[in-house]
Amino acid sequence: MKSSQLARFAAPGEPSAAVPAQQRANRPNVSHFDTLPNAALVSIQAMAAINGQGVSTLWRHCKQDPDFPKPIRLSPGCTRFNVGEIRAYLAKKAEASARPAPKQRSKGQGAA
């Protein structure tokens, strides 16, 4: 069986056979995120794993979304994010997505 076929049969939570071991090792382990104190700092790679988004997408959110956690530059090439700010941002986004969307008028229905 090819490695691409093995990836389809990997159990949830298990690394797929199609991803090389070295590439799996480069992914940050964020399983302990809930136990981190709010004052802790995490890398952009860890934040990408937490959000389920790519690193470049997160940098775009930094520029465009005023609610997005502000990066903390420790040195050139070393930027971190505050865990408390990440939690507040995720809670705000979850609350916003749980609210019902405002009703939109059908085409042709004006304010009468």
For residue 41, give its domain range. 32-93
Domain assignment present for residue 1? The answer is no
CA nearest neighbour of 81 among 93, 99, 68, 97? 68
Q: What is the pLDDT of residue 18?
A: 52
Handedness of CA 29, 31, 36, 40 (dihedral sign): positive
Q: Is the pLDDT of residue 10 over 50?
A: no
Total domains in the fold of the chain: 1
3-state helix, strand, coil in the chain (%, to 5): 45, 10, 45
Domain assignment present for residue 9? The answer is no
Residue of 112 and 83 predicted with greater confidence: 83
Q: What is the pLDDT of residue 64?
A: 94
Domain assignment present for residue 13? The answer is no
CATH code of 47's domain:
1.10.1660
Q: Is the pLDDT of residue 30 over 60?
A: yes
47-93 pLDDT, tens digit per residue, is 998 888 899 999 999 999 999 999 999 999 899 999 999 999 999 98
